[in-house]
A and B are shown apart, each in its own frame.
Chain A
């Protein structure tokens, strides 16, 4: 059974750094793209970026390029989403999801809630 298990909820202050994780199991982690999707409170889904764990080929949405860093450690089947300096506007639910090279997301994690407030 394919599973993506994300790290727990985070409460941070503006300016702090953060790295959340997504561990895959039940499939060949290196052969599927893993992406990150933001959902701000009461809003729609936003495509942030994807990474191919086998060679770390990474593609960002222009909206998120330079704002976050996506990485993966294939030795432990885990992908990451990282911020160097959080803003209040980063408050959202963040989902990881995996899928094929047609850009679809077949399987989703349970989501990680990030709250940023002073």
Chain B
């Protein structure tokens, strides 16, 4: 299974919205609605922020939203805040799992 494709970096200003894409194939992202997104701050363990394409775990801000079209899933963060600066990873699971390469978000 090849890693899912994410942009290496994205940036935005406080208050703006950004979208991170995650491209796979019909054998992973496009095959089922088992796409998750994780946020990782430096030196910390990852944190689940979106699961099953668009669901948010309890306690995760509604500024985070997910969607999918075909073989590409997307994470949108609205109302950017300084604390959103982190690495973001998508993941897909169908009998085995795979992560995207990760996207570094800079809040300028």
Quick check: which of B10-18, B41-49, B76-84 contacts chain A, the rest being far away? B41-49
Q: Which residues of B contact A37 (CB under 8 A)?
A: 46, 99
Given A95-B46, A102-B52, A108-B47: A45 touches B38 (CB 8 Å cut-off):
yes
Given A45-B38, A47-B98, A103-B36: A110 touches B45 (CB 8 Å cut-off):
yes
Contact, CB under 8 Å: B34 / A104:
yes
Answer yes or no: A1 CB below 8 A from chain B CBs.
no
- Interchain Cβ contacts within 8 Å, total number: 72
Query: Nearest B residue to A61 by beta-carbon distance?
Result: B96
Q: Which residues of A contact B96 (CB under 8 A)?
A: 47, 49, 59-62
CA A104 to CA B93, docked complex, whole Å? 8
Answer yes or no: B23 CB below 8 A from chain A CBs.
no
Q: Which residues of A contact B48 (CB under 8 A)?
A: 99, 104-106
Contact, CB under 8 Å: A44 / B102:
yes
Q: Which residues of A contact B101 (CB under 8 A)?
A: 44
Q: Which residues of A contact B1 (CB under 8 A)?
A: 61-63
CA A63 to CA B1, docked complex, whole Å? 8
Q: With A44-B100, A103-B97 given, can you name 16 additional A-B contacts, CB distance below 8 Å? A: A44-B87, A45-B91, A45-B102, A49-B96, A59-B96, A61-B96, A61-B97, A95-B45, A97-B46, A102-B34, A102-B51, A103-B93, A104-B36, A104-B48, A105-B38, A106-B57
What 8 A-B pairs come out closest when comparing CB atoms? Answer: A103-B93, A47-B97, A44-B102, A104-B51, A108-B45, A104-B36, A45-B99, A102-B34
